[in-house]
Structure 1
Amino acid sequence: MSAVADDPADIRNWRRRADGITTSGRLEPGDPARLAAIGVRHVVNLALDNHPEALPDEGTALAKQGIGYTHIPVPFDAPTHEHVAALHRVLDQVDGPVHVHCIMNYRVTAFLYLLDRQAGVPEAEARARMAEVWDPLSSDEPGTAPWKALLGQPG
């Protein structure tokens, strides 16, 4: 789905999916208010809170805007199917528009690729959505081996 006029498209790797979920990389101090302004009701953070680019006290900043918060810390070098299942549970339980982010939007797009495939989205379509931001299956970058393993392709 294309962006909406009020989308904060300058947030790192901002995306709006056809299912209404928005995704991005890191959030900055003014972003919780911007997310509230477009109607986001819940944020899921897949990044580690000790990352140098993490928003300090993110949950508190979001709560001040009336936005719920779930933190599922996913080590970039050790993503698991349990992390994906935790995201799936949150997405199933949360009512209202959801924003999912990490630092670069890499974890998010890979996890949503897996959830799309579980939901019956054709491989090519799910892969194209993921590749808009990052395609670890086609990359030889260092650090992609655990992602290839998670996504079902040997590293």
Structure 2
Amino acid sequence: MLLGVPEILSPELLKVLCEMGHSDRLVIADGNFPVESMGKNAVIVRCDGHGVPEILDAILTMIPLDTYVDHPVNLMEVMPGDQVATPIWDTYKEIVTKHDSRGASAVGNIERFAFYEEAKTAYCIIATSEKAVYANVMLQKGVVINK
């Protein structure tokens, strides 16, 4: 155990977060996301039994978001015609606001199939047991600055 490290972050995930450089992206995937097929070139970390919000919150205590892009956090847009609510997005925006001064304006949306293409280039994809639909979130890591 280490002081100041959220318990939900496994040693494997901490290692991956340390390995990531500026502009590298990671996807925190819901339970329906095709992790294995999208992550052929990514490090896959399993966080079974956990939901996306708690993983997102823990990760954002450890890494900054990229300040050189408008939307360092991106969500998968709902497909036209799908009649689903996405209240989990509000939760994500609250979490981002807690960790980034840009608040909800740091969060953007990417069309579903474009999100898949972007996910294929991610450094890491984290598999969760999140049951909410359209609950995938992509983060772009920023620069860690010593204060």
TM-score (norm 2): 0.35
Q: Which has the higher helix share?
A: 1
TM-score (norm 1): 0.34
More relative contact order, 1 or 2 (CA 8 Å, 6+ apart): 2
